Each structure stands twice: as C-alpha cells, then as structure tokens.
A and B are shown apart, each in its own frame.
Chain A
C-alpha cells in the first residue's frame, strides 16, 4: 500500500504558559491509498484540530504532516491554498454549499479552484453529480435540496479536484439514518473503487462498518479502543469501562456526561433504547 499522508509526532498547543492546552499530542499516523480511517472520540478530544492539520488549514506546533512530498508544518503560507485545492477534498458536517450557486456551480467552483475552467470544468461537475444520482438536480440551489442531496453535492465537490485524500468532518451528523447510510456507502466506494484515502471524523457508530481502521482520540492522543456503546440521549459513541452508566430494565446504559444521564433518568421513555447499543459494542483495537 502507498502511504498518502504521513503524520509524525504531531502536536498542536493552543495558548501559552499556564494557559497552554495541548489539543493534539505527539500523534503518529500513516494513511494509505484506498483506506478509510475513522477517527472517533469525545467532544473536545482534538479530532477537528487533527483534521484541520491534515487538511493544511492549521499549522502544528511541532511534528510533521507530509502530503505529496510537502510538509504542511513547514510549508510557506502561499503554498497551502494550492495544496488544499489539488490534494484534498473536504466534506463538512453542515455541507457548506455556497447558497447563491446551484449544485452544478458548487462543484464547478471547486474545479475552478483546482485550475480547471470552462467546459471541461462543467463536464466534470456534471459527471460527478450524475454519478451521485443528482443528474436531475444540477440547477437546484442548496435550499431546494434535501440534506442527503446536499451532502452528495458536497462529496461531488470534494471529488471535483480529483483529490487523493478526502477529509470528512461528521459527514452524517445532519442526516437521517437512511441518508446517513447512503453517504457512508458513498465514502466507502470512494476508497474501494477510486483508491482514495478517506479520513472521517465522527461520533456516528454506523461509520465503523465502512472503516478499515477506527482510531479513538482522547485528550489529544490516540488511545486503545475499548468497548464502546452509544449514549441513548445524544447518540455519541462513548467508552464503557469506568464511564458514566446506569442500569435500566436489566440493561447497562452508558452516557457521555452526567447531563445526558440526568436527562435520561428524568424521562427514560423519551429515549428509544436500542438493545444493541445498550450492550457493550464489539472490541476494536488499532
């Protein structure tokens, strides 16, 4: 396997002196072509910071991120935009489509930024949207599309520059389960069929099914993945073990925080208890 992104001893510290906080600490990671890597972890664990550094949008405090022979940590500022435009495709939780442009133009814009213009860009954008089943939505603006359609446009946009690496931040968070599964399948196919590397940061347990590797980031460091469960209130993936939990109807339920636990205890009937989620999840190690 070819390593596309190589991260070594990566650290990001916000603030200085007594106020310094390490968002990411001494992380090492190699991402191969055709691989889907899922990064999970509690809120504030450093997932998005890691993704920003991988995507050449945030400079690390120390360590290196090698992409296509360029070390993002030491690259000059003016080298970063073209690196992003040509080497990465981004998929955002909020879709982040430009509201004034239609679906076709949103994808075409990414082509333009990668240096492809005119009819070639238009054809490429049309092909991508058609591939994702949006051939009849080319001239729909984002406010005329469903959440799942918006995310498919966003994925098409991420592919507009033919990027070898797709970075996805909570790509299923704003979607219902059906559309979420749809997007998960699309991301898997990008790796399997196109040979692209896909890095997903998410709380969504369902994405584990399509990942080649699942990494657990906590306190800025990758930790061994222990048994996981789903918080029935916020539906975040949470560690079992010493975590916050209650027994309910003979099942053990795990929570991300005392707030979710208290909310559950106040009105247990409001939350559908998925027996599978309540039980400890499969053991995953990396």
Chain B
C-alpha cells in the first residue's frame, strides 16, 4: 500500500506532553487490569503447583469432591489397594490432607498439611535444604520458613504437636497459604487412618482417560479425574473466588481508560476541528477524517497497552523479590484480553469526537481564525 501522510499520528504526537499524559493515563488503567489479572493467574499457578508437578495421571477423591482447596475428602484406608488392583494402574499412593496451621514461637501460617510416604512419589518436587522427614519431622516451604523464622532443625507445631524441620522445599507457598509435609504414619496417628486422595499412575499404553473410566467403574463411591482435570478444577475455584473482585476492578480500570481516551480524543479533536474542516475543504470525505480519529484511538490504546505490559512485567519481577509469596503472572492471554478491552474502550471513546468531526462544516476553514 502506497504511503499516505500520517495525519493522525502527527497530530496525536504534535503535543508530546498531551500524548504522554494520555498514554500514561490509559496505561495506568490497563496496568491495574493486568496486575489484578496477573495476581489471580499467579494465585492459580501457586495453588496448583503441587498438582502440576505430580507424576500422577489420575486422582481419586471422595464422591463429589473435585478439588483440594475449600474441600474435605476422606476415603477408606483400603482405597489405595483398591485403586492399585484396577487393570492399567502402574502405581497408587495415598495422600492424607487437611487444611490447618503451623505455628512457631513467633508466628503462625495457614497451611495444607500433607501426610505422605517419603519413599514414594508424592513429596515436593525439589528440596532446597535438608532431607525428607522421618517420624516426628516435617518439611516446610522455604518462604513460609523465612516468614516464621525457622530453618532446618527448628521446631514447628503441626496439628498441635511439635515437629522438627528436616528440610525445606520451594513452590509451596501462595498468597493464600503454605504447604507442610509430614510422614503418613504421623498423620494417621494424629488424624486417623483415612486417606484424602489416591494418586495413581497409568501403565504404559493406557491413557489417563481410559484409566479414569476403569477406576470410576471399579470404585463407584468416588470421584475420579485426570490430573489435568483436577488442576483445572482447582484453578477454577480460585478464579471463581476472585471473579467478582476481578470483574469490578476490571470495569473500574476500563472505565478509567474510557474516560482518559475519551477526554484525550475529544480535546484533541476540538483543538484540531478547524484543521479537520480544512482537510474536508480540500476534498476529504467524512470517512477519511473518521479514520484519523479512530487511528488516534488505536495508537493511544496500542502504546498504552505496550507501556502497561512492560510495567506489569517489571512490577511482577519487583514483587517476586519483595513478597515471594505473591506471584504476579502476566500471561499472553491476559494481555490480549486487556488489549481487546482497551480497543473497545478506544472505540467507545471515539464516538463523541467522531460525531464532532463528521458534523464539522468544511466552510469553517474560510472563517477567520480567532
């Protein structure tokens, strides 16, 4: 396409201070939306970190229980053997689970407490210090440990009992809570013999979906899901909890953006009304002057989105250093959503200016400038 004079861009950036203010205003609004989205996405990642890193293909829980968060699941102690006996299951391990708190002399922290077999597959993905627990010992997430002022060999209270910290691991703390591992024997001694979930791996050549069907048939009083499905359900519950807040804050963010874009384009259009009349007098159709205004809206939105995305990424990095339990995950889908929303806002903000330029009389160009 042959080059045309970029009237829209030239006019928009003629007054750099105004352009910077407009871009900054819209970027601030989009930054709010992106950060909120990033906090929720980060929360989802943190909450599902343990599940995503698990080697299991299938997870069995109490009937109608589909998540760990905000749920209580109890299966009979022989459930692990029952799962293991199903054709196509390569391995099965029980995980005992409850929401509780861990406490020290200086503080307390909400925590998922897992009872697991340290020789099995359900421990944390990576230890950053120490070793796996023996009876009377616990694994604590390093972020929670720092917050509680404990380290390896320190003592913490779990279920009201004293445990020695045998090791630390990472990726176990979210903005909501942390995770603590004790041996399955200690857990059973303190909370009873039932297991909460059974994690199972499929034999080679058996798909997780097929295994789900077989387990559901063999264990009718349970809920069987693939790990992927379980992760999705877990993330959805966090999303649902944050949905109302997100919606309100996003609307606020987009309204601020709408106001800034609308005012910017309106003042710019008013300032350039005579020039629009001149362009019309020189033979421009309404369509072309309309394109000028819309192009200015697109430029404002695109620049603001770029600025907001860069700032969100920088702030996300900064937050990771200052508050390790808070993960701000700026995902491409979030940026695209904010961009689409901003384009809609830009289009809405252009309506009044468009009306003004459509109505401007080309004969205005012949009136004396005041």
Contacts and interface: CB of A to CB of B under 8 A. Distances in A.
Contacts of A113: 279, 282-284, 288
B14 A51 contact: no
Contacts of B119: none
Interface stretch (B215-223, B244-252, B358-366): B358-366
B284 to A, nearest CB: 5
A52 B279 contact: no
Interface of A, secondary structure class, is helix
A84 B277 CA distance: 13
Contact of B281 (A90, A100, A114, A118): A90
A277 interface: no
Interface string B269-291: 00000110011111111001000
Interface in B46-99: none
B368 A94 contact: yes
A62 interface: no
A226 interface: no
Interface in A44-95: 48, 51-52, 55, 57-58, 78, 81-86, 88, 90, 92-94
A117 B3 contact: yes
A112 B5 contact: yes
Interface in B319-368: 361-363, 365-366, 368
Contacts of A122: 3
A101 B283 contact: no
A118 B361 CA distance: 29
A286 to B, nearest CB: 24
Interface residues of B, number: 27
B4 interface: yes
A88 B280 CA distance: 13
Contact of B366 (A83, A88, A92): A92
A57 B274 contact: no
B2 A101 contact: no
Contacts of A82: 283, 285
A105 interface: yes
B363 A52 contact: yes
Q: Indicate the size class of the contact surface on chain A.
A: 35 or more
B278 A96 contact: yes
Contacts of B283: 81-86, 88, 110, 113-114, 161
A100 B7 contact: yes
A83 B362 CA distance: 13
Given A57-B281, A98-B275, A98-B279, A117 B366 contact: no
A85 B14 contact: no
B105 interface: no
Contacts of A48: 366
Contact of B368 (A78, A90, A93, A121): A93
Contacts of A120: 2
A218 interface: no
Nearest to A122: B3
A239 interface: no
A109 B14 contact: no
B366 A98 contact: no
Given A51-B366, A58-B363, A109 B282 contact: yes
Interface in A110-128: 110, 112-114, 117-122
A52 B2 contact: no
A84 B365 CA distance: 14
Interface in B102-132: none
A78 B285 CA distance: 8
A84 B281 contact: yes
Contact of A109 (B7, B280, B362, B366): B7
Given A85-B284, A101-B10, A105-B5, 6 more contacts: A52-B363, A78-B285, A88-B283, A92-B278, A92-B365, A119-B3
Interface of B: 2-5, 7, 10-11, 13-14, 274-275, 278-285, 288, 361-363, 365-366, 368-369
13 contacts: A57-B362, A84-B281, A84-B282, A84-B362, A85-B284, A86-B283, A88-B283, A92-B365, A96-B274, A98-B279, A105-B10, A112-B4, A119-B2
